[in-house]
Amino acid sequence: MADSKNNTGYRNTGDWNTGDWNTGHRNTGYRNTGHRNTGHRNTGYSNTGHLNTGDRNTGDWNTGDRNTGDRNTGNWNTGYWNTCDYETGAFNTEQSENVRVFNKTVSREIWDKCEKPSCLYFVLTEWVADSDMTDQEKIDNETFHTTGGYLKSYEYQEAFKKSWDEHDIADNLKVKDLPNFDADIFLEISGIDVRDYDGSRKTTNPAVIVIDGATYDLRG
């Protein structure tokens, strides 16, 4: 087996790990199996937290994918100890018929069928290769010499706004078509203001302008 390389730490199998006993690549922490995990004892990819089995979990002790919360078995849960999918609460084994969206109840069927803008699917951590790092990032993350980059973390609203700016404004504004949409609640959660948007003012994206009701994306 080829020797591992560019590890910071001990007993790693793989490359560009920061920490000890990692199996895989670009892990930060200890005893991770997989790639781009932040935390300890994760199995899978892009987990933030501890003892996760699956992918893209935020929280601890999850089995499944894309959970926010702890000790879930299943996918896309917000809450704790759930063994089903898309549930908010604790110790649930069956999905409820309704969900709360913008603090109001709507049927799960309607919610599942509605179109969600691409900007809503964002990550709180991403791998930044050394070739894409700024001078300041290299100063702040000295291990990039051995890891080949660093794992960048975003605050929740920061990540939300970044995703909003990176996607098409016309698609972003489909958020207003979501069931029970409430612009004030959306602003509180995302930090993005779409209140009273009527096509006659600038959007929250400085690269997008509106002239005579037409939207122009200056990014090309």
Specify the residue for token string 């010499």.
145
φ, ψ for residue 118 (rounded to 5)?
-60, -30
**Tell me: the pLDDT tens digits for 133-191?**
999 999 998 888 888 888 888 888 898 999 999 999 999 999 999 999 999 999 998 99
Q: Which two tokens stand for residue 135?
A: 């001078």
Give the model's confidence band at 213: pLDDT under 50 very low, under 70 low, under 90 confident, else very high: low
Q: Is 219's pLDDT higher than 70?
A: no
pLDDT at 106 over 50: yes
| pTM reported for the whole predicted model | 0.67
Kindly indicate the confidence band of residue 211, based on its pLDDT and cuts at 50, 70 and 90: low
Q: Quick one: tokens of 129? A: 């290769």
pLDDT confidence band for 200 (50 / 70 / 90): very low
Q: Average the pLDDT over 199-218 and give the result.
A: 49
The distance of Cα 186 from the centroid of its chain, to the nearest Å, equals: 17
Order across the sheet with 23-25: list the strands: 23-25, 33-35, 43-45, 53-55
Range with the largest mean pLDDT of 4-8, 47-51, 191-195, 202-206: 191-195
User: Would you place residue 201 in the very low, low, confident or very high pLDDT band (cuts 50, 70, 90)?
Assistant: very low
Span of 45-54, 105-114, 122-131, 193-202 with lowest mean pLDDT: 193-202
Percent of the chain exceeding pLDDT 90 equals 26
Q: Within 10 A of 149 (CB to CB), how many other CB atoms are there?
A: 20
Per residue in 1-30, pLDDT (tens digit) is 455 778 888 778 888 788 878 888 878 888
